[in-house]
Structure 1
């Protein structure tokens, strides 16, 4: 599904000035969500009222002349505001939304995943593939507690371990428990909107795991041959 907006990171910005206590980038360099050209968007303030944590801006693609909106997010340190992130609206159709990472994931692993995403967003596809493989190796080493093992061997060890089946087993049992709550009357438990949302999300994960992942892997394998 195409996201309505996408984070393009704070490293895409170029130049800028300090206005109302904020550093406002002069421009950002990224892909146009309409024509897919990698261009420099000159940013113009789109809200005359200063807001302490964000700066809404807009621009026009120099190639296709479509209007694109941006939001610059700020973080405060020692009384100064610095650019924490930049979002673009709408998201380019070819971009992939950043994955939600667990808080307990080590910083080095989170960085490895984000590096792969950042390389992809920047159009650096060969480095993106390399970084994705590096992230996979790091994730498997973390799960299996293996250090001096090749990625090929790590995959074999992982597939033979309980760690490979534990997430899908937990997901399936969670859905079973949710189904039981809804299917059997209990005056103390009434499924609400949030419960239904979680069940649908789990169902999506299950479908992806059982069918889509294998299909995508086969397509990639065919392309690489």
Structure 2
């Protein structure tokens, strides 16, 4: 089950004292297509409203629930909308925008990659993964090295940041996958599996380069504070 945000509700309808979602754009939990659901509410037990609607793509029947009704500014009651099964939509790494090294441009590129992946555009996803990888390397390398091809930038990267061989292997895998998307080839065109693994690899790289160093620093500071507190408490 997954909550549906207000931004996905296309149209509402007023019935008695209720304001109810009638049209919803959401990703199908069966086929992962972005489709529009028409909601005809017909069951209410005093606490929960329930209805079903079929995906126009695969025909899968999704269940919709309205719960926790509260009165809005127009004196109508609105509820929180849930869908089952959930869409399994990929969500960005929580709090990634709070890391200053992962600048606003990288955040926008990362969010665009996730959005395109959730739309099922696999070729576009692979291209955006490669573009984000280029942005990451350029944010780390000096300007004198940023003009080089991505493959060369990845070779230089360990001179600027401590990278183990598995991390470099990840980066090169993203680069190669992005090349598949950029150069049309029916036999090698990226699909869901390729795009999913590319986004997975990209997020591992982001966590390693931007998130993990901060978490290690915070942990070390916490340990040092504990040590100092222990020293101060001793007579």
Give TM-score scaled by structure 2 length. 0.46
Higher CA-based Rg: 2
